[in-house]
Chain A
Amino acid sequence: RKEVEQDPGPFNVPEGATVAFNCTYSNSASQSFFWYRQDCRKEPKLLMSVYSSGNEDGRFTAQLNRASQYISLLIRDSKLSDSATYLCVVLNAGGTSYGKLTFGQGTILTVHP
């Protein structure tokens, strides 16, 4: 089982749609969680951290369920510029993997006019 699993998509949505991505992680000792965004052939960039109580940044909302080891990202009112790959990232806190970031393989989003 992969440490971090995402639905690779692709998700094709029209402008203005709401889209949600899910991610599960296997290491219960995981400490912190992030969503990164990666444009085609470019470097990943931090989109937002994910807090236990859930957090929002403009049109983006991230949720964490530690009991189910599940993370989500919701994008409202999608824009063409949201087209990218979204990476779920987990920071491990236990054992030999302490401090290690593990990346999911990414979910591809395409927003069309």
Chain B
Amino acid sequence: EAQVTQNPRYLITVTGKKLTVTCSQNMNHEYMSWYRQDPGLGLRQIYYSMNVEVTDKGDVPEGYKVSRKEKRNFPLILESPSPNQTSLYFCASSFVQGYGYTFGSGTRLTVV
């Protein structure tokens, strides 16, 4: 089954404790992206990647890092999480940038 898999689905952590949210797709998509979704603000892009070893900042990259060492994986790293990073996070991939996005099931992160 074609899908984007995110882990974990839920995570509660403490301020400053490094964490990684994994994202993997099995569709051989070149384009991958991370979004966060907050009430009243909609989905905002954090980082995106157009191919292996090619990443770029989205609208809200502060406090996040990404890497794209393999085509299928695009982890999101929070080196020192803060409470304002409490949010619902989605990974998405597509064959062509902007078209036919497939989203992962989301990761609900709470930073206390």
Q: Is chain B found bound to chain A in the same assembly?
A: yes
- Interface flags for B53-70 (1: CB within 8 Å of A; 0: not) read 000001000000000000
The reply to whether B98 and A32 contact each other, CB–CB distance below 8 Å, is: yes
- The CA of A79 and the CA of B49, in the complex, are separated in Å by 38
- The CA of A88 and the CA of B100, in the complex, are separated in Å by 14
The reply to whether B43 and A44 contact each other, CB–CB distance below 8 Å, is: yes
- Interface flags for B36-53 (1: CB within 8 Å of A; 0: not) read 000011111100000000
- Chain B residue at minimum C-beta to C-beta distance from A8: B40
- The CA of A32 and the CA of B49, in the complex, are separated in Å by 20
Interface residues of B in 91-109 (CB under 8 A from A): 97-101, 103-106, 108
The reply to whether A99 and B97 contact each other, CB–CB distance below 8 Å, is: yes
A-side contacts of B44, CB under 8 Å:
103
**Closest CB-CB distance, A30 to chain B, in whole Å?**
11
Tally of chain A residues near chain B (CB < 8 A): 19
Contact of B43 among A32, A87, A99 (CB under 8 A): A87
- The CA of A104 and the CA of B41, in the complex, are separated in Å by 8
- The CA of A43 and the CA of B58, in the complex, are separated in Å by 19
The reply to whether B105 and A32 contact each other, CB–CB distance below 8 Å, is: no
- Interface flags for A37-57 (1: CB within 8 Å of B; 0: not) read 000011111100000000000
A residues in contact (CB < 8 Å) with B: 4, 8, 31-32, 41-46, 87, 91, 99-101, 103-106
Q: Which 5 A-B pairs have the closest CB atoms?
A: A43-B103, A105-B42, A103-B43, A99-B97, A91-B98
